[in-house]
Structure 1
Amino acid sequence: MVNRSLLALVGALVVASAVVLRVTPESLLPEPERPFRWQASAPARLGGLSYPRNATGADSVTATIDAPPRRLVSQASSTDEFLYSIVPPERVVGVSDVAYMERISNVLELVRQYQPIVALDTERILRADPDVVLSPAEMRLDVPALLRAAGVPVYRAQTMFPTLESVEAQIRVIGYLAGEDARAEEEAGRFHEVVRLAGARKPSGTPAPRVMGFGGVYSYGSETLFHDILRVLGAENVAATHGFIGYDRVTDEHIVRWNPEWIVAGADRGHVEDVRARLMAHPAIGATTAARLGQIVVLENHVFLPLSPFAAELVEALADTLYGPA
């Protein structure tokens, strides 16, 4: 259990950090961290299966877990979804704020039932008495550093996955951290089978459907999960074909020149038809083959956006869209 003096110390450190940021000249402050700065490096490194277990995360820092964890905290929507796919829900005692957002959450019913804390600040996390905290690689360093100073194992987790294979691998990593190796292997097998079956859906000899993913002002190039899903399904990602890498801003000129046969976008729950109508009214989108053929597909964001085992739903939804229901 966390003692009161430790909580007081952490609280004082948080206040002191805020004061320093207010009074220090901007030129003397450290440069902000770049988002996802560790994504392309420092792959997960796991130790043996016996305890204590050691896992080195995206920041190259090793978290040591002394015994099978009973209380787990997640600080990102991606790791929320990995945990709830593997771990009994009562053991998840902290989640991201996204978990409680009705418009997008995949775990809303579970968090409403079990009421984990929203794990945004250090003191609240410590009061939840976690055995391990899963913190996203892109999060600022201060909260993980304070938790580590308090003796809490913190694993900095990857939350951006460029391939379905990397999602499957992360299922096993989270299972190792949670002490649920068998359940993780079962979930990884389920995920793999969904992908395998979807990849066999394209009729033999048919041309690759030309697809553009649309995220409002950006599209999905190579090195994105959306691109890899299209690859597995035997479809062409027109953004990647034209040189987009990662998540890149897309212009009206791009859309007209690429002239996709399918456009896939996301919408919050209950707003699918509103978004589809706006896309149809968009001058550049309205000029595409996708609009002419009525092939503008809007999926709810809890299906369209996950970077987690829930991406299996997007794989199946896109296979159904492009090739008809199985």
Structure 2
Amino acid sequence: MVTIYDIAAKANVSAMTVSRVINNTGKISEKTRAKVRRVMEELNYVPNQTARSLVLQQTKLLFLLITDIMNPFYTTLARGAEDAAKKSGYRLLFGNSDESLEKEADYVTTILTARVDGVLVAPAGDPSLPHLESLRRHHVPFVLLDREVPGIECDIVLGDSKDGARRLVEYLIERGHRRIAMVNGSSSISSARLRLQGYQEGLKLNDLPCDERYVYETSFGPLKDLTEMEQWIERMDPLPTAIVAGNNVLAIEAMKLLRDRGIGVPDDMSIVCFDDLGPYSESEPFLTVAAQQAYQFGYMGMQMLIERIDERGAAAALPWKKIVLPADLIIRRSVKDLAQ
């Protein structure tokens, strides 16, 4: 194995100079730096990251913990986070909780064991509070994405869930719909609560009743069993003319159920949802959506995390930041115009 002493001997410099070049510390001329790096390349030297992290108290590793890697929103978010991390010289590890508190707890243990420098996390929900408190106790900086958790103050990047849901409802009403249902994520998730509020507000502002029978709560993640959602659809009498889905996964699941029952979209039932379908929306543009800025969620969240890491040890901590990104209403073919 090539050591810094081998490099020092061939470059005719001290081992301390080689160490400073590797760690980018100290005052060394560019000519000397270039010579040392040239020798490192010639000898195929690979720095010992474990030893380096002990010296610098940094691993240059960050962790992104999301709830559903299959959801195009999160895959696009992950790309933004990775781009921002790479730009600042960090490597990124990924974890997928599947909306499970148990899996999230396991990942938090992994994060603490791996000694990462910081975490970008979309929490499973309000019960994630002990996991976040554990990160804080161990002095691991973190930034929340998409979801707030009551009881914890931190940096966060959110979408305007309430406004986006209200705009979806208002668009349906403009197209003549009066019986509008909603299938949504768990009320233990802040974004689901806000989307429900936006749905209710859209109805109330247009003097339409909020019928509890027209609201169904489930998981935001992939559903293994659609029986309960199917029963909900069967119980609604009369059937709604439109459904607002709390995210893209729920919209797709609802469309499958409707299709199996011979209910066509949009001819027999209109559907709109939160979050776009990523590249699939470009090849087959169909769903009308409130599209969140997924890439910016990841990129901006990562920038905030790195800023928080860089300011550790400062005399005065930076104030917590909260960024709220608006959703864009993208109108496609999933809504039937009943106003005509």
Q: Which bracket does the TM-score occupy, shorter chain normalised?
A: 0.3 to 0.5
Query: Which of 1 and 2 has greater Rg?
Result: 2
TM-score (norm 2): 0.38
